[in-house]
Structure 1
């Protein structure tokens, strides 16, 4: 099933009127207020705020069903674009695990990114309760204690794991997410979307993935797709660019060459998928 944002919001209202659990409603409302506060925080860099129109953090986290007292694992948080929203939302009530790059990695970018993130945890009050763990397909899979998490979230990472470790790596990642989640726990995935009629081989180089393939891997790992949304869709994106998804903002890897053209397109067309652990 595919839902537009208006449909999702209408469904939420109907569910509430039908008598959803009152405690869940309170927790969700608290989470939404906390998310809004984190998004609007003056501590967020302007460059991060500028991307809200493409990443739709409030609508995305509402769609996944985030509540302020949950135990949540964010996978490969990088510089912490979503962490700076999730950490304040969960602080004091829930728990945030940040499954970052492995500490034993020899890759310079990974080492620098992890060190920067750990510095935020040590020195930025917003991150003071974040628990840093490690993740990398096949080799580093203990992202949180088994069956401890209510929700696992990953944003624009799936293509990296597939490009690095092929199907085996991607499946190992989803199995790690399943292991960390409680029965019935939620896996939220946002990923650059490749049209279904394209050659599968493009998934190895373009940065885009087919929705059907992502869903299939998740099912193999013990998940059920419960909903999908066009919250992060961008119909202007053809997913056919000289340097893959990195041609578009924010990377603009073509440099000044046709930069305005790609800025006009905006960030990538993205699938937004909600899975449940069986």
Structure 2
């Protein structure tokens, strides 16, 4: 995994198009090998088929998840990332798995997936241990405590969907910023749209316009700390809907780690 360290200002000024200088490999402290136990967690048996494409150990290394961390999975979907985080944070850590009420209203399976995931990390009496479900409006998850890290995977583009109020992206970005401890990090992975795709690409292709995303997050106060080519697939023309059979599971994606200043 190649890590690219950037400043947000340089990225925006360059129009998100210029290559940034390569930096040394990630330190051994956050190597994928560190997360072998999390990846091999028996509760992830059903996830293994996706691992080749989703690179779970590398994602945890890029996110720099530590034992004892308090982490939010923002828009948890089917729970793949939640289950991955559950072991990575260790016995002293906590994972808040957020499923927006709007998504559940659209598809009740999102509620069932959330319940099933939390159940895997509950005691014999059904009390959650380490993984806690949150259901609330998209822009107001109600995080119970300040977070060390928030991870959102393949969902940032959803903030621009037409069914949501126009100010949803700005309100959500500010909420994510406020939810983190000073020095906390936001890890974003999403499908890349063609340059200039804008909100239309989010609605029609479920892809994220890179420059639009960076502007949103830096305007909220985040500073880009690192970018990874972990999910780079240059052969993707970025013009197909991500659910089309011809490209599903093989889209070109960006991965960012952004930090809230101390």
TM-score by length of 1: 0.75
Distance change (3 Å), C-alpha of 1:155 and 1:136: farther
Structure 1 residue 198, shift from structure 2 partner: 4.3
1:190 aligned partner = 189
2:40 aligned partner = 40
1:154 aligned partner = 152
Native 8 Å contact 1:75 1:135 kept in 2:
no
- Bigger radius of gyration: 1
SS of residue paired to 1:12: coil
1:53-83 Cα offsets, whole Å, 9 max, x none, are 2211211221121111211111111221111
Pairwise CA RMSD: 2.8
2:228 aligned partner = 229
Normalized per residue, which structure has more helix?
A: 1
SS of residue paired to 1:233: coil
SS of residue paired to 2:72: strand
Distance change (3 Å), C-alpha of 1:174 and 1:197: closer
Native 8 Å contact 1:38 1:89 kept in 2:
yes
Q: In terms of mean alpha carbon deviation, does 128-137 or 177-186 score higher?
A: 128-137
In structure 2, which of residues 235, 256, 260 is the aligned counterpart of residue 273 of structure 1?
256
Q: Measure, in 2, the Cα distance between the counterparts of 1:106 and 1:100.
A: 7
Q: In terms of mean alpha carbon deviation, does 73-82 or 185-194 score higher?
A: 73-82
Native 8 Å contact 1:153 1:188 kept in 2:
yes
SS of residue paired to 2:84: helix
Distance change (3 Å), C-alpha of 1:144 and 1:157: farther
SS of residue paired to 1:186: strand
SS of residue paired to 2:117: helix
Q: Measure, in 2, the Cα distance between the counterparts of 1:212 and 1:226.
A: 16
Distance change (3 Å), C-alpha of 1:121 and 1:240: same
Which residues in structure 2 correspond to 1:61-140 (within 5 Å)?
61-102=60-101, 107-109=105-107, 111-125=108-122, 128-138=129-139, 140=140
Q: In terms of mean alpha carbon deviation, does 219-228 or 201-210 score higher?
A: 201-210
Q: Measure, in 2, the Cα distance between the counterparts of 1:88 and 1:106.
A: 26
Q: Measure, in 2, the Cα distance between the counterparts of 1:92 and 1:274.
A: 24
* Number of aligned positions between the proteins: 239
Report runs of 4+ in structure 1 exceeding 6 Å deviation.
none
Q: Measure, in 2, the Cα distance between the counterparts of 1:228 and 1:106.
A: 31
Q: Measure, in 2, the Cα distance between the counterparts of 1:211 and 1:105.
A: 24
Gaps of 5+ in 2: 6-18
SS of residue paired to 1:203: helix
